[in-house]
Structure 1
Amino acid sequence: MKPTLLILAAGMASRYGSMKQIDGFGPNGETIIDYSIYDAIKAGFGKVVFIIKEEFADNFRAIFDEKLKGKIDVDYVYQNFDLKQFGIEEEIYREKPWGTAHAMLSGRDIVKEPFCIINADDFYGYDAFKKMADFLTTDVTDSQFSIVGYKIGKTLSDFGAVSRGVCDVDDTGNITAINERTKVYGKDGAVVYEEDDKEYPLSFDNPVSMNFWGFTPAVFKITEQEFVKFALSHKDKPKAEFFIPLIADILIKNSSADFRSIPTDNTWFGVTYKEDKPVVQASIDELVKNGEYPENLWK
C-alpha cells in the first residue's frame, strides 16, 4: 500500500500578507506545494490530501486538479471551528485556527494508510520524501512513528522570528522530548529562542521538526482525545494552538510510541515573511539550474 501525503494548507498566513500556499515561486509560477508533490510522486506516494479552509477549495482545485490528474490521487478536507464533531457542545471563541494537530484531525475519516504530514509553505527536498516513503513502507507501526529532522541553524529567516519544534534525540536516534519554541531567531552568529521576555541559547545543529511527520492512522485517536482536553482547558485563551509536537511529546512521555529522527542532507527553506520570497525563488532557480528539477515541473 502506497503512503499518503497530507499537506497543511489552511493557515491564514498573517505574517506573509497573502495566501502563500498558492503563491508562485518556480520559473513557471510553480508553488512550493508543486515541488513537494513532485518529490512525493517520485518517492512513491500514492495519494495527496490537502487540508484547507473550505473557502479555499475553488482556488486549490483550479491550480492542482488538472495538472495532477493521472499522476497521483487527490482529495481535499476542510479544517473548521466546529467543535461538535468532537463532542464539545460549549461555544469557545477563537481568534485563529486551533493549530496543526487539530488540522491533522481533518483527515481522520479518509486516511486509512500510513501517511506523512507537511507544511504547504516549506520546501523539503526529494531526499526527505524518499526516506520518509521508505520508512512508511517498511518500518512504521502503530508505536513507531518518525520525523525528518533539520538543523535548526539552517531553518531560520533573515526577516523575523520563527516557530520550531526543538527535539532532544538519544543515542539510538529516537526523540526523547519536543519543545515548541514560538520565537526562534539568529543573534550575533548564534541561535536563540525567546520566552517570557528572556533569551535562551540553542545549538546550531540541534534537530528540529519542520512538521514533516510520519504516522499510521492510529495517531488520530489519541490526537482527538488530547484535543478535547486541550480545547476545554484553553477556552479562555483564544490564541492558544494545538501543535503536532504536543502530541508527539505526550506519546513519548507515556511510552505509547517512539519517534525516529530521520536525518536528511537536504536544505530546508520556507516562507514566513514576504521578504523571504526572493530568497526562496533564488534557491529554486539554483536547483533547476543544477538539474534537480525540470524548468517546467508538469510538462
Structure 2
Amino acid sequence: MSFQLFADSACDLPLSFFEEHQVTLIPLRVHLNDHEYEDIKTIQSKEIFEAIRNGIVPKTSQASPQLLMELFTDLAKKGEKGLYIAFSSELSGTYQTAVMIRDQVKEDYPDLDLDIIDSKCASIGYGLVVLHAANRIKEGATKDEIIKEVQFRCQHMEHIFTVEDLDYLAKGGRVSKTSAVIGGLLNIKPILHVEDGKLIPIDKVRGRKKLFRTIIELMKQRGDKLDQQLIGISHGDDEESALQLKQMIQDEFGTSKFYIQMIGSAVGAHAGPGTLAVFFLNQMD
C-alpha cells in the first residue's frame, strides 16, 4: 500500500520541494488588493513584502475546506495511507478543519487511513519536520515509525526569531497590541519563540550586533548537538542577514548543514519584511 504525505504552505518549503518529494501541497490562502491567492502556487512572498512596505495589509485564511475534502476523498478511494503534518493549530484553523473533514470522509469511507498531526510549529521549523518525514518515506520507513519521529521533532523544535515591526504580528492577532506599542516606542528588536504552538516574546534588545549575539546565546542554552543538526533559517526578504546569522552559527557551533529559505506568503503576511528566524532541535532523537 502506498503512502501519501500532505503538508500545508505554512511550512515555507518551496514548490520544487513538493514536486521533487511528491508531497501533496495544501496551500493557505492570501488576500491582497481584493484578490485571493493560493500561497506558493499563485503568489510569492516577495509580492507580499513589497505590498507591506507600501502600506498595504495582506490578510490570510486557512486552507480551502473544499480542497481538503477532495484530497481526503481521493485518498480514501485509492485505498492509500496518508499523513498530514499541519501548521500549528494556535496560528491557523487549518488543523481543526482538516480533522473535521477527515471524520466526514470516514463516514462514507470507514477504512480511510489518514493521520493528522498538529505540528505546533511554523515556517521552516515546521518545514524541517516535513522534510524529515519525506526523506524517511524515501528510505522505506513505516508510517508508524515516521509518525513517532514527527511527533518527537514537533515537540522538540525550537523557533527563535525577531521581527522588524511587532505591528505586523499585532494586526494579525499573533501578539498583543501592548507588546507592539512598547516595542515601537523604544525602538527595540523583540526576540520571540514558539511555545506550545503560540508566539511568545522572550527578550528585547537594542542594536543588530547584540540581537545576533542574543540569538546565538539562546541557541547555546537550548540546542542539542548543534554541530550535528540541519539548522533552518528563514527570512523576510533579507538574505544578507540570514547568511550573516548562518556564518555566526558555523563559527560558534561548527554546524555544516543549513536549510535557508525566504518566509512564505501566508506566514510573511503576519511576520512582515525584515523577519529573521532560526530553527533547531533542543533534543536529538
TM-score (norm 1): 0.35
